[in-house]
Chain A
Amino acid sequence: MKALSDFLDMGGYAGYLWPSYILTFVVVVLNVVWARRLLGRSREEARRRLATRAATEAGAAPTRAGEAT
C-alpha cells in the first residue's frame, strides 16, 4: 500500500505529472477514435454515392432534390 501511494505521489510531482500523462493518453486515444470514425464515414458516404449512381443508371428517378427528371 505504501509503495503504491509513494508511486502515485511521484515525489510530490503528482499534480503535474499525472495530468500530463492523462492528457497524452487522451490525445492518443482520440486520434485513433477520430481517424477510425472518419474512415467509417467516408466509406459510408462512398457507398451511398455508388448506390445513388446505380439507381440513376438503372433508369430510376434521380434522387437529388430539385433535379429535373
Chain B
Amino acid sequence: MAWTWFHRLGSPPYIYSLAARLTPWFAWPAALLMLAGLIDGLVLSPPDYQQGDGFRMMYVHVPTAYMSIMIYTTMAISAAVGLIWRIKVAHAVAASCAPIGASITLCALVTGSLWGAPMWGTYWEWDPRLTSELILLFLYLGYMGLRSATEDVQRADRISAVLAVVGVVNVPIIHFSVVWWNSLHQAPSLMRLGKPTIAVSMLIPLLLMLLAFTLFFVAVLLVRLRAEILSRERSASWIREVVTP
C-alpha cells in the first residue's frame, strides 16, 4: 500500500497532470527570485575590494555553472533509473534535461570567459576546470546527437542513458579540478567543508540566484517533460482528454 505513490510516479498520465499543476509553482517564484537577486547583486551589494564591480559577474556565472552540473546529475540519475527499472517516464525526464543543460553550460562557459578576460588576462586557457566544463558541454551535445540519430525511441533511451551514466564521471572531475590540479580558477568558496569564504552581503544575492535558477530549471523541465510524454504515449486514450481544448 505504501508503494502506490511510487508506482504513480511511473504513470505517464499522472506525471503529465502533476507537471501541469506544478509548473506555475516553480516558474513564478523563479522569476521573482531572479529579479530580487538581480537588484540585490547589481545595485545593493557593495563592490569587492579586489575586483571592484567585476565580481558581479558571479551572479550569472556561478548559478549557471552550478546548474550545468546539477542538471547533468539529474539527467544521469534519471537515465540510470530508466535503465535499471525500465521506467519510461525516467527516460523522458533525462531526455528533457539535455537541451536545458546544454544551453546553461554554454552560458557558464561564455560568462566565465568574459570574467576571465579582465581578471586573468585571457578569455580561454586549457585549464582543468575550463576543459572539464567544456567536456560537459560535449557530453550534453553527444547525448542529444545520439538521441536524434536513433529512430526508435526505446533504443534511443537505452543508448543515450548509457552515455549519460558513463559521463557522470566528469561531474566530480569538474568539482574537484580546482583542488586536485593547479588551476587559474579559484577554489570553491561556497560548496566546501566549513563556512563559506564569502561576505554575507555578496552571499545573499548569490543564494537568491542559485535558488532562482534551480526553480527555473524545474519549471522548464516540467514543460518539456509534458511534451516528451505526449510524443511518446502514441496510443494512450488519456491523451484525448488532455489535448482537446
- Residues of A with Cβ closer than 8 Å to B? 7, 10-13, 16-17, 19-21, 23-24, 27-28, 30-32, 34-36, 38-39, 41-43, 45-47, 49-50
Q: Are B56 and A17 in contact (CB under 8 A)?
A: yes
- Residues of chain A lying within 8 A (CB to CB) of residue B224: 35, 38-39
* Given A17-B56, A28-B34, A42-B226, 5 new contacts (CB under 8 A): A11-B52, A12-B52, A13-B56, A16-B115, A20-B115
Q: Are B52 and A43 in contact (CB under 8 A)?
A: no
CA–CA, A35 to B154, complex, Å? Answer: 22
Contact-residue bracket for chain B: 35 or more
CA–CA, A39 to B231, complex, Å? Answer: 9
Q: Are B239 and A50 in contact (CB under 8 A)?
A: yes
User: Given A7-B43, A28-B216, A47-B244, is A35 in contact with B227 using a C-beta cutoff of 8 Å?
Assistant: yes
Q: Are B239 and A24 in contact (CB under 8 A)?
A: no
- Counting residue pairs across A and B whose Cβ atoms lie within 8 Å, the total is 96
Q: List 25 A-B contacts (CB under 8 A).
A: A10-B54, A11-B52, A11-B54, A12-B52, A13-B54, A13-B56, A16-B54, A20-B114, A20-B115, A21-B42, A23-B60, A24-B60, A24-B64, A27-B107, A30-B103, A31-B220, A32-B220, A34-B99, A38-B223, A38-B224, A42-B230, A43-B227, A43-B242, A45-B230, A49-B234
- Residues of chain B lying within 8 A (CB to CB) of residue A21: 42, 60
- Residues of B with Cβ closer than 8 Å to A? 34, 42-43, 47, 52-54, 56-57, 60-61, 64, 99-100, 103-104, 106-107, 110-111, 114-115, 117-118, 216, 220, 223-224, 226-228, 230-231, 234, 239-240, 242-244
